[in-house]
Structure 1
Amino acid sequence: MEKPGKRHPPFWSRRRAVAAMIILAGFFLCAAETIAAERFFISIPGPTLSFVHLYYGQERGFFTQEGLDLQILVVRGVIGISSLMSGEIDVTCHAGSGFAAALRGLPLRIISVTHDRPQHELVVAPSITAPADLKGKAIAVGSLEGTAAVIMRRILQAKGLDPQRDVTLLSMDTASRLQSLLTGKVAGGMLTPPSTYLAQDQGYRVMARGKDHLRYLQAGVVATEASLKQKRAKIVRFLKIWGRSLKFYQDNPEVMIPYIQKRLGIKEARLARRMYEDDFQGISLTGILSPEAAKEILDSGREALGVKEPVAPERIFDFSLASEALK
């Protein structure tokens, strides 16, 4: 029974109180997630098609759901490897540079491979009509021991040129390669989509495609030997969401094509669709190379970098974490 004189709060006050409680609950939930999320630093060569899935997974909160606060750093290969070795970052996606460094003896491992067929293409100025026209000219690549440079040397050799004497290779980031080609600072450049298509639209031509000359690392994940022991669980969590993001990318073109336009600044949907269709079929969702593929890539790397002594695959590749991430 109600006591005389007791007044209930108006209905709108009760609703306001409930709304405030919901807002506070949401605030504390978000705060708890932020506190629980562990920072995870990764370096990539540039905001290219190979890493669209990574940005999408970051924006959609895929990594946060696994307790990781993903921090993506865009740097050149040499900086990515030095940052990895110093412990400033957890992993790097400078797969070609990491592979070369491991071949030269640094304690690094390739732990996941997304693409093992290079998307790099040698794009040249309209004035270059034959390989001989490149003699004495400059060609833009990424890191001088990275994927683009290794492919470039193989292409030049196949065209009858000496990579050491006939041309000058200049190390540049992704955006600078295209800009230098279009402004005439270099006669050719190793480009990947969308830079390849943008150059072709302005009259530049593809002289050679990397995938026609060798099997090599286009995109993958590299870690140090020490981090595989000290941060193993953390890296496995990362690889799990890396794979989830890739699967979403591959299965949802209607979502990813507009996202490619947004993330890479592609104005035409036609161009974004062309990029996506050229890319998604070559993706490895497991991240694990077959023994035959690993040997072929290893042999190509040794030849390209002049490493004469035999190198055991297990000194370069460790796919045990990728296997754990699939469970």
Structure 2
Amino acid sequence: MESLLSRRALLRWTVQLSSIMILSLPLLSPDCASAQSFQIVNMAVPARSFQMVIYPIAQVKGYMKEEGLDERVIFVAPTTSIQAMLGGDVQFTGAGSSALVSMARGNTPLKVIVATNDRVLQWFVTRPEITNPKELKGKKIATTGVAAIATFMAKQVLTKHGLDGNKDVIYLDVGQGNQLAALLGGGFDAAILSVEQRYVALDKGMREMFFMGNEVKNSWGTLATTDKLIKENPKMVGGFVRATIKALRYLRQDKEGTISAMLKFSGVSRQQATRVYDDIIGTFTRNGAVDDETQRNDLNIIRQVTSSSETMPNARAYDFSFAIEADQQLNRAGWKP
């Protein structure tokens, strides 16, 4: 019991400390004088990636406060964010894929309620001397985990292009964020990279073999919450999602405003922020939802990751009703950023 209490205390301390750290950034500083009149909502983001910038935008532009919410964006690792959400310390997480894995493994009472992107923001990049997929046979590929979701997607892509994605290449876990260094170091022949890593690799002479978003039909950048919050506080969930859909619309319409937000949120250069925006703005969903086929594809990947015998039904894992309703409400009102 003492050990359990210590873990819970540590988790709360981690979330609180993360809140203090992230709220020290200018983009995310709340109006302390008025915060008491709003309901505080903790939103966990796993990284400073482009698709996550919609959440600080939703707060800074006042979309959250229009819903009576004072959003606190905090950086929390995916698995920890799921634990914090179940414990009530966090209300929402941007680690929707981790939520799906938790549902498949332990029937955790969660739902994915928003899909930020309808294409996978991962790139398969090789050393320059590799010019076609079949030359990857017997080669080493740097991943963030042999059981990572992107790795299973890569297996599908390589099989599509004439290899046995399960047997013909060697997948090695080099640790989160280390794929680029592994590729550039010469010890690996290919790597699965994020958008930011991809630019560095290309500038260093590496070759882009595939944009995964063009090869598989899956979602990316999903938002999850608990079944309990949906049942007990649908007003909060609906308001949070509506503010998020507004931020998605802002993202599409105001390029300069979004780039400025990226500079503060991610700390990247203006050149890189502009490059990212131009390359992937078309991957963002218009209403925060993806179709049934995409949901099934996502859950099929989750089945493989968790070695489950059956695929979860869509309705068990997803509830896009809040996003669809919010989009329809904004359309009826003629709302624009």
- Measure how far apart 1:280 and its partner are: 1.9
Identity among equivalent pairs (%) = 22
Deviations 1:35-78 (A, max 9, x none): 12222122222111111222233334432343323222333333
In the alignment, which residue of structure 2 is the partner of 1:116? 118
Distance 1:185 1:35 in 2: 54
- Measure how far apart 1:256 and its partner are: 2.1
Distance 1:223 1:304 in 2: 21
Q: 124, 140, 164: which one pairs with 1:137?
A: 140
- Return closer, same or farther for 1:294/1:34 CA change in 2, 3 Å cut-off: same
Q: Secondary structure at the match of 1:194?
A: helix
1:37 aligns with 2:49: no
- Return closer, same or farther for 1:236/1:137 CA change in 2, 3 Å cut-off: same
What does residue range 1-327 of structure 1 map to in structure 2 within 5 Å? 33-104=34-105, 105-126=107-128, 133=136, 135=138, 137=140, 139-141=142-144, 144-146=147-149, 148-158=150-160, 160-163=163-166, 166-170=169-173, 172-173=175-176, 175-183=177-185, 187-267=189-269, 269=271, 271-302=272-303, 305-326=306-327, 327=329
User: Which ranges of structure 2 fall in alignment gaps of 5 or more residues?
Assistant: 1-30, 330-337
Deviations 1:80-136 (A, max 9, x none): 333333333111111222223323332221111121211211223446566565747
Which stretch shifts more, 237-246 or 99-108? 99-108
User: Which ranges of structure 1 fall in alignment gaps of 5 or more residues?
Assistant: 1-29
Letter in 1 for 2:214: D
Q: Secondary structure at the match of 2:34?
A: helix
Distance 1:325 1:108 in 2: 20
- Return closer, same or farther for 1:152/1:51 CA change in 2, 3 Å cut-off: same
Distance 1:192 1:289 in 2: 21
Distance 2:152 2:90 in 1: 25
Distance 2:59 2:146 in 1: 26
Q: Secondary structure at the match of 1:58?
A: helix
Distance 1:143 1:248 in 2: 37
- Return closer, same or farther for 1:217/1:143 CA change in 2, 3 Å cut-off: farther
Q: Secondary structure at the match of 1:288?
A: coil
Distance 1:178 1:255 in 2: 29
Distance 1:263 1:235 in 2: 24
- Return closer, same or farther for 1:154/1:162 CA change in 2, 3 Å cut-off: closer
**C-alpha contact 1:84 1:90 (8 A) present in aligned 2:** yes
- Measure how far apart 1:187 and its partner are: 4.6
Q: Secondary structure at the match of 2:70?
A: strand
Which stretch shifts more, 236-245 or 49-58? 49-58
Q: Secondary structure at the match of 1:43?
A: strand
Distance 2:246 2:68 in 1: 15
- Return closer, same or farther for 1:226/1:290 CA change in 2, 3 Å cut-off: same
Distance 2:252 2:174 in 1: 32
Deviations 1:149-185 (A, max 9, x none): 3323323444524547952442744x44434444457
Distance 1:82 1:58 in 2: 24
In the alignment, which residue of structure 1 is the partner of 2:7? none
- Return closer, same or farther for 1:84/1:177 CA change in 2, 3 Å cut-off: farther
TM-score, scaled relative to structure 2: 0.74
Which stretch shifts more, 230-239 or 288-297? 288-297
**C-alpha contact 1:76 1:142 (8 A) present in aligned 2:** no
Which stretch shifts more, 312-321 or 129-138? 129-138
After superposition, the CA RMSD in angstroms is 3.0
Larger Rg: 1
- Measure how far apart 1:263 and its partner are: 3.6
- Return closer, same or farther for 1:189/1:70 CA change in 2, 3 Å cut-off: farther
Distance 2:241 2:63 in 1: 12
- Return closer, same or farther for 1:293/1:282 CA change in 2, 3 Å cut-off: same
Distance 2:174 2:64 in 1: 32
Distance 1:184 1:77 in 2: 30
Distance 2:207 2:174 in 1: 21
- Measure how far apart 1:236 and its partner are: 1.6
- Return closer, same or farther for 1:76/1:149 CA change in 2, 3 Å cut-off: farther
- Measure how far apart 1:242 and its partner are: 0.9
| Alignment: residue pair count | 295
